[in-house]
A and B are shown apart, each in its own frame.
Chain A
Amino acid sequence: MIEKIWDYLDNKLSTQEEENFLVELERNASLKKEFESCRALHHLLQAREIEHPSMAFARKIQDKLQNIPPLSHTPLVSVKTKKIFWALISTGLGTTLAFNYFSNFKLSLPAKSHNWLDPLLQISQESPDFFTKLAILTAGMLSLILLDKVLSSRSGKRI
């Protein structure tokens, strides 16, 4: 019932619920006592006053803004950054395609062929998606690191 009291004080009850609540309030002395206590706290909380900063507050902000360069309207990502980004994506895709090619090529090689690529080819055969996932993950990580550097240098500090 306490929840109902707070819902009533917050005007969250429907008309019907409110009527039922008020009827219950009239015939339940202990509920009435709880209600008065909640209402007093509610009014006390509402009566809290807005705090005011010092008189020099606005001036201090203006002083800080003097040291900040004007808002930039240049594109967030430069052409150079875009090129690097696409180069990374291309590298990731190229790596994936290359490993896919080698893993297919292995099928036509003699069974006794051993070279340094064998462990990698074995992984690719046992888990065909492994290198694709690895390449995408690597490209994603590098992109995020790059983006972080660009944003950090742009804003001057981390926000």
Chain B
Amino acid sequence: MAADQEIIDHIRKGNKGAFADLVDKYKNYVFTIAIGVVNRREDAEEIAQDVFVKVYQMLHTFQGNSSFKTWLYSITYRTSIDYTRKNKKHHYAEIDQALPLKEQVEANNGDKDHMRAVLSKLISSLKHEDAAIITLFYLEELSVKEISEITGINPNNIKTKLFRLREHLRKTLENDWKVNLNDLL
């Protein structure tokens, strides 16, 4: 697959088809960040579409000071957070759906695939910004510095948040939901 800058040059010359390559390359990552924040596939898909439309409209402003990936993810992050602020009702409905998870965990304790799904739900019930940080760090394997550029949060605060969030997840699973994490190794 062609390098990002090469694709961007083609789009800037008016080649709309080249934009399809960019969408194809990043759609899953953009969608994953969005769903990590809003926790609804329909909303995440709408957000991801908006993100790519914005990218197309704003591509002439991309200076290349940061990588295209960082620039794209910062648009995704801001669009997702803005969406949740405008649609608070939806997110709280999802948290309600996450509550019976404890019973599901007790029934499927030790099933790694099931635990992954449970963990995703648990992450989605965190604050939107926190869910995004965990997703960017683990799924996108971005550095603290890159996450800081995307979210606009100080790198030291990102480090602190990462520590607290992981400890929160660990304590919730082990103490509240009685999951034996060591069994999953």
Residue A68 is within 8 A (CB to CB) of chain B in the complex? yes
Count of CB-CB pairs between chains A and B under 8 Å: 107
A61 touches B182 (CB 8 A): no
Q: How far is the CA of A50 from the CA of B185 in the complex (A)?
A: 21
Residue A36 is within 8 A (CB to CB) of chain B in the complex? yes
A3 touches B163 (CB 8 A): yes
Residue interface mask A72-109, B partner, CB < 8 A = 1? 11000000000000000000000000000000000000
Residue B120 is within 8 A (CB to CB) of chain A in the complex? yes
Residue interface mask A22-55, B partner, CB < 8 A = 1? 0000000000000011111111111111111110
Residue B150 is within 8 A (CB to CB) of chain A in the complex? no
Which B residues between 42 and 78 are near A, CB-CB below 8 angstroms?
A: 44-45, 48-49, 52-54, 56-60
Residue interface mask B101-123, A partner, CB < 8 A = 1? 00000000000100110011000
Dominant SS among interface residues on chain A: helix
Q: How far is the CA of A153 from the CA of B147 in the complex (A)?
A: 32
B119 touches A48 (CB 8 A): yes
B interface residues (Cβ-Cβ under 8 A, vs A): 11-12, 14, 16, 19-20, 23-24, 27-29, 31-32, 35, 41, 44-45, 48-49, 52-54, 56-60, 112, 115-116, 119-120, 134, 138-139, 162-163, 166-167, 169-170, 173-174, 181-182, 184-185
A interface residues (Cβ-Cβ under 8 A, vs B): 2-3, 6, 36-54, 57-58, 60-62, 64-65, 68, 70-73, 155, 159
